[in-house]
Amino acid sequence: MARSKRYKNQRRVIILRGIKYLLIITALLLALAFVLTKFVFKGGNDKEGAENAETGETVTVSVSETETTPPPEEEEDENIDNKWAMFLVNKKNPLPADYDSRIETKVVFESWREYFLDVRAAGYLEKMLKAAENDGIDLYVVSAYRTIEYQQQNFDNSVQDRVDRGMSYDDAYADTLAEVALPGESEHNAGLALDIMVEEYQNMDDDGFEDTEAFAWLDRHAAEYGFILRYPKGKQEITGIIYEPWHYRFVGVYYANEIKKSGLCLEEYYEQQGWTDGNGKAVKMRGPWDEDDKKNAPAETADPKETEPKKTMAATSYSEQKVTIIV
């Protein structure tokens, strides 16, 4: 009887120990499952994972979706208008050889003759002239679009005028370069530049125009219509052209305001944006065509060495112009 009782007690102890071990194992399994759920499964789906056990720093976990989803493309600023007009024209960035055959011009001002501008910029000028008139300012266009032939004639006449005043030909040529661009290097050839003065003051031999109410009005409002003062004071070493308070260039309303706020000339703004190489040659925003539409780009750009006229007073032969201006 005593032996049977002792056997039952031993059996009860074994069962209790088994239950105890089973509970411990169950608890350990539950704890392990909790850890796996919290740090493995959840962490594997988060872009930001758990802390690094050694450093305590947050570890960024890459996920498969970053491998299959491409980065978003840079969106075009919808506020930028007339991006086509934002290109450089100067000694280092001459117009394409076929540029003149690619644009359409429109009469924008009439006095003793007609003055033309690129049709895409014409409406902006017309609005600006009207706004000035409403403010009591009668702006007077004295030069706008020029053919290559006329630009050559203008350059040659400027050289001859200096020679007549006693300069040597070489000195006269060099002096003219500071005021008159060579054919293909003038913004007037692009149909986007114009010289604006007032009927009672049209003297380009000095800076007197900057003292007029018309200049003050343009300084305040030109950018609102997409125009910038192209050759500002103190920028001759950068632009290559002396200060011209009457010379305005269409670049579009957005860029005109940006340049106005920056206080930079166009060359400086290009450099700031990273659109030129170290030598001032444009590598972006190079012309009035869609950069992504290769079929609209000109076949080739004129080589400055080929297009620069020789130092001679004789007119250089150029291709026939689409719009002829009789001066």
Q: How many Cβ atoms are within 10 Å of 311's Cβ, its own excluded?
A: 10
Q: Which of these, 99, 116, 98, lies nearest to 323 by C-alpha position?
A: 116
pLDDT at 145: 95
In a domain, 227, yes or no: yes
276: pLDDT strictly greater than 50: yes
Do both 52 and 141 map to the same domain? no
User: Comparing 318 with 168, which gets the higher pLDDT?
Assistant: 168
In this structure, are residues 319 and 112 in contact, taking their beta carbons and an 8 Å threshold?
A: no
| CATH code, domain carrying 253 | 3.30.1380.10
Q: How confident is the model at residue 222 (pLDDT cuts 50, 70, 90)?
A: very high
DSSP one-letter string for 66-115: HHHSPPPPPPPPTT---GGG----BTTBPPPTTGGGG--EEEEEESSSEE
> Cα-flanking dihedrals φ and ψ of residue 166, to 5°?
110, 0
Q: Is residue 95 domain-shared with residue 158, that is, in the same domain?
A: yes
pLDDT in tens, 85-117: 999 999 999 998 888 888 899 999 999 899 999
Q: Report whether pLDDT(311) > 60.
A: no
Residue type, 157: N
Q: What's the pTM?
A: 0.65
Confidence (pLDDT) at 192: 97
Choice among 187, 244, 258, 267 that is catalytic: 244
315 domain residue, yes or no: no
Q: Give dist(CA 36, CA 327) in Å, integer.
A: 87
Enclosing domain of residue 147: 83-307
Residues 138, 46 share a domain: no
Pure H helices in the chain:
2-36, 42-45, 65-68, 119-134, 148-164, 169-177, 213-221, 236-239, 253-262, 266-273, 304-307
Could you report the per-residue pLDDT of 45-96, keeping only the tens digit for each? 433 333 343 334 444 434 333 344 444 444 457 789 999 999 999 999 999 8
Residues 39 and 140 in one domain: no
pLDDT at 125 over 60: yes
**Chain-centre distance of CA 115, in angstroms?**
28
The model's pLDDT over 171-184, given as tens digits with 9 standing for 90+, comes to: 999 999 888 889 89
Could you confirm whether 244 is annotated as catalytic? yes
Query: Would residue 326 count as lying in a domain?
Result: no
Do 92 and 29 reside in the same domain of the chain?
Answer: no
| Surface-to-core class of residue 50, CB atoms within 10 Å of its CB (0-12 exposed, 13-18 middle, 19+ buried) | middle
